[in-house]
């Protein structure tokens, strides 16, 4: 017993930030960003909160599933950081939608949605839940370093949600973690205790793009091959492959190394940038609403991110 | 020869005219950005069966060839 996805939803902030407008704030250009990342636009939180856009994505997923907030048995939120350290984002989304079930956050950076699916699968296996809401909501713009033109251009904010019901549509799943604070970190705030020296502390994002690129391509190829083998499916069985959207270059390199038809790889990076763990549920929502998924379709997921973490799964629609 | 193989990878993967590549060519001169350089190193790792980490000190084709030779590969 695992689960099936019965509803999807998404919400991005109102403010769209084009490469052109970003070029007025940071020393960069549309040509530089487009050729190196494939990104043309991203959405950034201004006055809205992450709880609000997460709540809207969640309500849309509930409506899509045809159920109400009171029907949910568990809320799992994937985020590197909600609006508060406490309450968790999951508790804030519970408040937004008026649910009453247990709620908690999971932080596996850009891989968080696949970690959340694995956690949900174990609740279904234990038989203690009938409906689970997963919301992946990220506001990386709060932590990106807008003095670092190599990284700040990459990120956007977004929320994506899915409603799971008991079923048998998780065919295989794999998670990895490899503790590493050299390639990708966000330092966060260290408080104001007067006797703590924080003069060398960087609260913002640091990323070694070359190392992360290599890690990303290697992990997509390894994980996708492994979960497809586990699920016993062949390349031609795959309808779509949804990889975490970090950079179109990573996607192109993975396409050229995996022997799966390139057209099966979904790409939304041009419109949203890297939205961390929200990227996969946002793609699910777009595919579903564009009528591109038919019952029985085989979907491969793959993500990679800070931690360093990776995850992959094969799902049946 | 290591140099010819590296040149071949550059020409094949990135469509650069092999006759224009010398030991002194920097990756920047050849139009490679930082991620292209990683692609090149990954292709080299596959071709030669060695492991090379991206590094600021690898600026020219010759730097990479020397690095491969240092790892015990001479042809």
- pLDDT tens digits, chain A, 317 residues: what are they? 799 999 999 999 999 999 999 999 999 999 999 988 999 999 999 999 999 999 999 999 999 999 999 999 999 999 999 999 999 999 999 999 999 999 999 999 999 999 999 999 999 999 999 999 999 999 999 999 999 998 999 999 999 999 999 999 999 999 999 999 999 999 999 999 999 999 899 999 999 998 999 999 999 999 999 999 999 999 999 999 999 999 999 999 999 889 899 999 999 999 999 999 999 999 999 999 999 999 999 999 999 999 999 999 999 99
- Give the model's confidence band at B29: pLDDT under 50 very low, under 70 low, under 90 confident, else very high: confident
Q: Mutate one of A213, A216, A254 to test the B interface: name it (highest B CB count within 10 A).
A: A213
| B34/A contact by beta carbon, under 8 A | yes
pLDDT in the model for residue B2: 87
Domain segments of chain B: what residues?
Answer: 2-70
One fold for A2-168 and A173-316: yes
| Residue B20: predicted pLDDT | 84
Closest by Cα among A182, A140, A136, A176 to A273: A140
CATH topology of domain A2-168: Peroxisomal Thiolase; Chain A, domain 1 (3.40.47)
Find where tokens 């939120």 sit.
A77
Confidence check: pLDDT of B18 > 90:
no
Contacts of B33 in chain A (CB under 8 A): 36
Taking the C-alpha atoms of residue A22 and residue A37, their distance in angstroms, rounded to an integer, is 14
Interface contact flag, B35 A213, Cβ < 8 Å: yes
Catalytic residue list contains A247: no
CA distance A210 to chain B (A): 6
Structural fold of domain B2-70: 1.10.1200
Question: In whole numbers, what is the pLDDT of chain B averaged over residues?
Answer: 86
- Please tell me which of the candidates A209, A214, A247 has its beta carbon nearest to residue B42: A214
**Which residues on A lie below 8 Å from B42 (Cβ)?**
214, 217
- For chain A, where are the alpha helices, taking DSSP H only? 19-22, 30-37, 50-65, 89-97, 112-126, 149-152, 209-231, 248-257, 269-272, 279-289
- Give the chain B residue whose CA is nearest to the CA of A250: B35
- Backbone phi, psi, residue A287, to 5°: -60, -45
Residues of A within 8 A of B54 (CB-CB) are 210-211, 214
End-to-end CA distance of chain A: 15
Using CA atoms, how far residue A274 sits from A6, A63, A77, A267, B67, in Å, is: 26, 27, 18, 11, 34
B34 with A209: Cβ contact below 8 A = yes
- pLDDT tens, position by position, B33-64: 888 888 888 888 888 888 888 888 888 999 99
pLDDT in the model for residue B40: 86
The whole-number pLDDT of residue A37 equals: 92
Quick one: closest CA in A to B37, which residue?
A210
On chain B, the residues whose CB falls within 8 A of the CB of A36 are 33, 35
Residues β-bridged to residue A62: none
> Which of A37, A39, A212, A214 to probe by mutation at the B interface, max B CB count within 10 Å?
A214
Is B63 considered catalytic here?
Answer: no
A→B contacts (Cβ < 8 Å), by residue, are 36, 209-211, 213-214, 217, 247, 249, 253
pLDDT at position A317, please? 96
Annotated active-site residue in A19, A59, A91, A110: A110
A244 is catalytic: yes
Distance from CA of B74 to the nearest CA of A (A): 25
For chain A, say whether B43 makes contact (Cβ under 8 Å). no
Q: Nearest to residue A275, comparing CAs of A7, A41, A14, A33?
A: A41
Query: What is the DSSP code (8-state) at residue A307?
Result: T
Domain boundaries, chain A: 2-168, 173-316
Q: What is the pLDDT of residue B46?
A: 85
Opening angle at CA A4, ends A104 and A225, nearest 5: 90
CA distance A309 to chain B (A): 20
CA-CA distance, A108 to A282, in Å (whole number)? Answer: 17
Architecture category of domain A173-316 in CATH: 3-Layer(aba) Sandwich (3.40)
User: A15 to chain B, minimum CA–CA distance in Å?
Assistant: 30
């Amino acid at each position: 017993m695992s689960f099936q996805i019965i509803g999807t939803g998404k919400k991005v902030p109102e403010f769209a930030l084009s490469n052109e407008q970003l070029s007025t704030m940071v020393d960069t250009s549309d040509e530089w960003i487009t050729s190196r990342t494939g990104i043309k636009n991203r959405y950034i939180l201004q006055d809205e909160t992450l709880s609000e856009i997460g709540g809207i994505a969640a309500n849309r997923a509930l409506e899509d599933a045809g159920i109400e907030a009171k029907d949910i048995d568990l809320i799992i939120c994937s985020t590197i950081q909600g609006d508060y350290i406490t309450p968790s984002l999951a508790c804030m989304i519970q408040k937004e939608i008026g649910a009453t079930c247990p709620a908690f956050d999971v932080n596996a950076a850009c891989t968080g949605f696949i970690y959340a699916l694995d956690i949900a699968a174990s609740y279904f296996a234990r038989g203690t839940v009938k409906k689970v809401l997963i919301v992946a909501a990220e506001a990386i713009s709060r932590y990106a370093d807008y003095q670092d033109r190599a990284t700040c251009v990459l990120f956007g904010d977004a929320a994506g949600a899915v409603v799971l019901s008991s079923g048998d549509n998780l065919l295989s799943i794999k998670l990895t973690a490899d503790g590493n604070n050299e390639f990708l970190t966000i330092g966060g705030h260290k408080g104001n205790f007067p006797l703590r020296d924080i003069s060398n502390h960087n609260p913002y994002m640091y990323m070694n793009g070359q190392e992360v690129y290599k890690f990303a391509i290697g992990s997509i190829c390894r994980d996708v091959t492994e979960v497809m083998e586990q699920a016993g499916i062949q390349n031609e069985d795959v309808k779509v492959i949804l990889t975490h959207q970090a950079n179109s270059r990573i996607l192109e390199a993975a396409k050229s190394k995996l022997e799966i038809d390139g057209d099966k790889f979904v790409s939304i990076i041009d419109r949203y940038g890297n939205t961390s763990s929200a990227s996969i549920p946002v793609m699910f929502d777009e595919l579903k609403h564009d009528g591109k998924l038919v019952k029985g379709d085989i979907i491969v997921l793959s993500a990679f991110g800070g931690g360093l973490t990776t995850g992959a799964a094969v799902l049946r629609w | 020869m290591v140099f010819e193989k590296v040149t071949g990878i550059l020409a094949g993967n990135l469509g650069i005219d092999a006759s224009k590549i010398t030991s002194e060519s920097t990756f920047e001169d050849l139009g490679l950005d930082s991620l292209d350089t990683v692609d090149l190193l990954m292709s080299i790792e596959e071709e030669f069966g060695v492991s090379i980490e991206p590094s600021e000190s690898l600026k020219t084709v010759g730097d990479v060839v020397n690095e491969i030779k240092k790892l015990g590969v001479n042809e």
